[in-house]
Amino acid sequence: MDKNELFAAFDDVSNNLMENFAQVELMKKKMQEIMEENSQLRLENAKLRERLSDVDEKMPAKSFSQGRENLESIYEDGFHVCNNDYGKRRDNNEDCLFCMELLNRE
């Protein structure tokens, strides 16, 4: 390898190092932006969780919907409310597991 080739090789290595350094600096900048965004999102998330817990405490307990009350009334009148036998009369007002499961869902 003569001197010109050696200097050319040094120039190539030097250029590669500068390109790599520029890429590293760009990656550092992007990482800093991501970390700042992450911090902001963590703060926002904490505030939202706090707000949600405040709202949950203020909300009254869920009451049964009108539809569920209607189904319970129909069931108490002796009819099925399950998908299998909806509207059919229950034999001797015996409990139906399918109806009971439907009525006891949350």
- Residue extents of the structural domains in the chain: 1-59, 61-105
Q: Model pTM?
A: 0.46
Does pLDDT of 9 surpass 80?
yes
Does pLDDT of 106 surpass 90?
no
Which residues participate in the annotated binding site? 80, 82, 96, 99
Confidence of residue 92 (pLDDT cuts 50, 70, 90): confident
DSSP codes of every residue in 33-71? HHHHHHHHHHHHHHHHHHHHHHHHHHSPPPPPPHHHHHH
- Could you report the per-residue pLDDT of 27-74, keeping only the tens digit for each? 999 999 999 999 999 999 999 999 988 887 777 665 667 888 888 899
Which residues participate in the annotated binding site for Zn(2+)? 80, 82, 96, 99
- Could you report the per-residue pLDDT of 74-84, keeping only the tens digit for each? 999 999 999 88
Q: How far apart are CA 91 and CA 74, in angstroms?
A: 14
